Structure 1
Amino acid sequence: MAAVKPLKLLAMAAAVAAFAGTATVNAQTADSGATRPPACRPLPPEPPPLKPTTVTTIAQAYHCVLDNYFSGPVLDSRALLQPAFAALTRELQRRGLDQSNANAPVLTGKRDADWAAFSKVYQDVVARLPKESQQLVAETTIRAMVDSLDDNHAGWLRPGDPDFFPVGFLPSHARGPGRTDPTATGPAYVTDVLKGSAAANAGVKLGDEILTVNDVPLFVDGIAVPRVVEWLMEAKEGQRVRLTMRRPSTGETKNYDLTVIRPPEPPQTDVVESKLLPNGVGYVLMHGFEPGAADKVRKAIADLGKQQRLRGVVFDLRGNGGGSPDEVRKLVSSWVHGKTYSYWCDVRDKCTPNRTDDSVPLLNLPLVTLTDRRCASACDAFSSAVKDLRFGTLVGTRTAGAVSGPGEGWVLDDGSFVGLPKVHELGANREKIDTVGVPPDHFAPVTAADLSAGRDPGLDKARALLG
């Protein structure tokens, strides 16, 4: 399994790698012809220097969404600005800085007029804040604006040199910065351990159930408790974290009092790993759909075939967070030709079919693909193609359903980034995969008890299907 990294660093790397695009953005607004701030720009090769986040930055983000987001052409400006202002006022209250003049701006749905009203109130509020609070309030406002899209491929990111580290393991219900799997009911358990971390040094093992963190349970009545996952993924060096855990293989409950340390850099692992299983079954594990990954999968299968004539391939995509749509196309085209495997659609339902590349040689091997709730984005897309086009069998659990559409990245004047999908994706049968996921043909979840005992029911089922 891949080494654990701080989730926000993973998100940053994914944003820079996956967001790419260009746009021609008019510097005049449609409503009144008023001059707008400089347009958001496509991501540069190197991250720009960070500067303070100002009202101009927020204006850039506002227009960037309207110009470049999937539903931008029909998006009501109030749907962006009302959540942004609400988040601003909540932040003021949390910090004991609420103001009598922090009244909601009057918004009418006219984009320029709404921005002018929002900007005036925002600047009046920020002018009265202590200087040390202005940046955090600005970040809260712009993040809430982008988050209001409720799109798993849209987000705002301000990179930096974070001083937080993971305690040293990945909990089963974590899905990204501040996010948990909405289907998880607990108990959460350890799915990966970072070598050299505080948790690893203390003896935390795969499958250990996480009962409490700092004496707070991760779940109450089957619902994940907000922010507790951040104590695990974003602890500060030197911070103490108390854990109560249960080991399913022995039934033993253990208490840990960890002091967070800076873990060593994990060794670089290839995106593709492979091995030959008994009875001529090839096993290929792919950690991500990064550029070149499909060629590495094809080479791994070819190399295994040189050792023994293959009867089939187990393609393990569990934990695969996605990547490039180009790799999806090449992998689908390795098993089937002459097919449409997905559609990219605009807000008015004008759809472009994604077709197989029939110049890619077919592998002509039976395929069983392993999936789980961490199989997301491009992994969702590939899994849906396998199921819809019936060129393989899915085993495991339903995928993440985090495949709204391919993201494009834009840089703002403070050095922060906005990621926005221009289109939304549908499966080969024109069904929606986003927020739903792809159910497997055979359910074979890996439980905490399985991990603790070293069992893999998904792989066992895949091998049985291939005979």
Structure 2
Amino acid sequence: MIKSLCAAILMTACSLSAPASAPAERCTALTGPPPESAPPTSVNTLRQAYFCVLDNYYNGPAMDSKALLKSAFAAYTQDLMRRGADRPGLQLPELTGNRDTDWAAFAKVLAAGDVPALRAAITAMVAGLHDNHARAVRPTPPPEGGPTGTGIVGVSAQQGPQLDPAAKPPLFITRVLPGSPAAKADVRPGDIIVKANGIRPFIGDTVNQSIVQAFTAGTVTLTLKRPTTGQTRTVELREGPITRQPPAVTSKKLANGVAYVQLPGFYEGAADQVIAKLQGKPKAVVLDLRGNGGGSPREVTRLLGAFAHGKVTSYFCPLKGDCVPNRTDDSVPLLGSRLIVLTDRGCASACEDFSAAVKDNGLGTLIGTRTAGAVSGPSDGYLLDDGSVLLLPKVRHLGPAREIIDTIGVPVDHYAPMTALDLATGRDPGVAKALTLL
């Protein structure tokens, strides 16, 4: 579940555009799919990743290069130790802060290098940036016969690609793919996870991040409690074929001329799909962005253009120089509809960009829970010589009031979280609250 969520967020939250040229023997701008075959990871691949971060990351020119090498070396040695392959004399050399001479000393210690440890070093180097839009991705071919999984693709504590440290018990399932192993085992949205592979989801009132490992395994044993009956049962789920439908906008009519539209992501063409659903110009729109992992900033400004013109929606700020304002797409005809937006902790990246623009510009009302706080800045893709890709933001995102949203999220005007019992019984507190306001 978590593994597939991370992949989805990388696909929706990151733009694969970048400058057309790069220094020789360094990373290159990703302009298309990574190659199907490439040489194995080498010390030179790690070198490319090191200079790629320093050259292209938002804060790269001002970074302490020693910290990058320290993160890489720690992960390198830890990977060797896990495999019983540690070797004597493998010590981090003295680092001076000069990125070129430090790399030369570092590479000399690594010698030919160990392929799995080098991959771990690259991953750790990027993870050490502590940036939710920075990733080291190693593409893998799709499995023969199509995708597999348990079919559980949402839980209540999700916060973008991780579990929300602010989440409170219980942890419950929010989405199950039809026809999946979970669906066939009668696992339903709203089922409370008591244990996963013997691991409790909370230690006291603190979410247990180690439960993520249970969902990335091929088989997971779940102890589940159904909120409508109070009954507890144990099911073993093995990965099997699953069918993922492409994201699509759905809509329905609510009472008194109110339209409900659910937008799962700001993918290409999403704004026009929403606008097409609203051609009747309803008096009010309830736009459901819960679980929306983000996507293209262009789709955000286009959809906002249906509700207001001449507004700043956000700012993209370089390390040095002036911030660049993003503005509503005023070529979109105004709907003239009142707007209510439903958000939750799964609303990340471009979804938060949209939510902040609505709140700061007074374009509508936010209902649900605070957003994920995962909107550091759009990422560009850079290709390494082993076929892996670094995703690195070149700018920082600020809201329309120049506020920082990353790590904080956008607060709602009316708190209306979804509970396990709500999901199990089909009740929607967000929609209910919206209708009372309208």
Question: Is 1:210 the counterpart of 2:185 in the alignment?
Answer: no
Deviation at 1:91, TM superposition (A): 1.7
Deviation at 1:162, TM superposition (A): 6.3
Question: Is 1:47 the counterpart of 2:34 in the alignment?
Answer: yes
**1:88/1:269 CA distance change after superposition, 3 Å:** closer
Contact 1:166 / 1:235 at 8 angstroms: preserved in 2? no
Tell me, in whole angstroms, the C-alpha distance in 2 between the residues paired with 1:201 and 1:175. 27
Gaps of 5+ in 2: none
Tell me, in whole angstroms, the C-alpha distance in 1 between the residues paired with 2:85 and 2:400. 52
Question: Is 1:153 the counterpart of 2:124 in the alignment?
Answer: no
Code of the aligned partner of 1:285: Q
Q: What SS does the corresponding residue of 1:360 show, helix, strand or coil? A: coil
Contact 2:346 / 2:371 at 8 angstroms: preserved in 1? yes
**1:162/1:106 CA distance change after superposition, 3 Å:** farther
Tell me, in whole angstroms, the C-alpha distance in 1 between the residues paired with 2:42 and 2:115. 8
Question: Is 1:243 the counterpart of 2:222 in the alignment?
Answer: yes
Aligned residues: 433
> TM-score normalised to the size of structure 1?
0.88
| 1:139-178 aligned within 5 A | 139-161=119-141, 165-169=148-152, 170-175=154-159
| 1:22-101 aligned within 5 A | 22-27=19-24, 38-48=25-35, 49-101=37-89
User: Quick one: percent identity of the two aligned structures?
Assistant: 50
Q: What SS does the corresponding residue of 1:342 show, helix, strand or coil? A: strand
| 1:187-202 aligned within 5 A | 187-202=170-185
Contact 1:333 / 1:362 at 8 angstroms: preserved in 2? yes
Deviation at 1:360, TM superposition (A): 2.1
Aligned counterpart, 2:5: 7
Tell me, in whole angstroms, the C-alpha distance in 2 between the residues paired with 1:369 and 1:11. 21
**1:145/1:168 CA distance change after superposition, 3 Å:** same
| 1:255-270 aligned within 5 A | 255-258=234-237, 260-270=238-248
Code of the aligned partner of 2:185: A
Tell me, in whole angstroms, the C-alpha distance in 1 between the residues paired with 2:353 and 2:47. 34
Deviation at 1:365, TM superposition (A): 0.8
| 1:257-336 aligned within 5 A | 257-258=236-237, 260-270=238-248, 272-302=249-279, 305=280, 310-336=282-308
> TM-score normalised to the size of structure 2?
0.94
Contact 2:12 / 2:267 at 8 angstroms: preserved in 1? no
Q: What SS does the corresponding residue of 1:380 show, helix, strand or coil? A: helix
Tell me, in whole angstroms, the C-alpha distance in 2 between the residues paired with 1:57 and 1:337. 47
Tell me, in whole angstroms, the C-alpha distance in 2 between the residues paired with 1:43 and 1:230. 31
Deviation at 1:349, TM superposition (A): 5.7
Deviation at 1:230, TM superposition (A): 3.0
Structure of greater relative contact order (alpha carbons < 8 Å, 6+ residues apart) = 2
Contact 1:4 / 1:192 at 8 angstroms: preserved in 2? no
Code of the aligned partner of 2:50: Y
Question: Is 1:112 the counterpart of 2:100 in the alignment?
Answer: yes
Deviation at 1:50, TM superposition (A): 3.8
Q: What SS does the corresponding residue of 1:203 show, helix, strand or coil? A: coil
Question: Is 1:220 the counterpart of 2:197 in the alignment?
Answer: no
| 1:377-388 aligned within 5 A | 377-388=349-360
Q: Out of 15, 18, 28, which is 1:18 matched to?
A: 15
**Aligned Cα RMSD in Å?**
2.0
Tell me, in whole angstroms, the C-alpha distance in 2 between the residues paired with 1:46 and 1:101. 40
Code of the aligned partner of 1:369: V
Q: Out of 403, 407, 428, which is 1:435 matched to?
A: 407
Gaps of 5+ in 1: 28-37, 127-133
Code of the aligned partner of 2:19: T
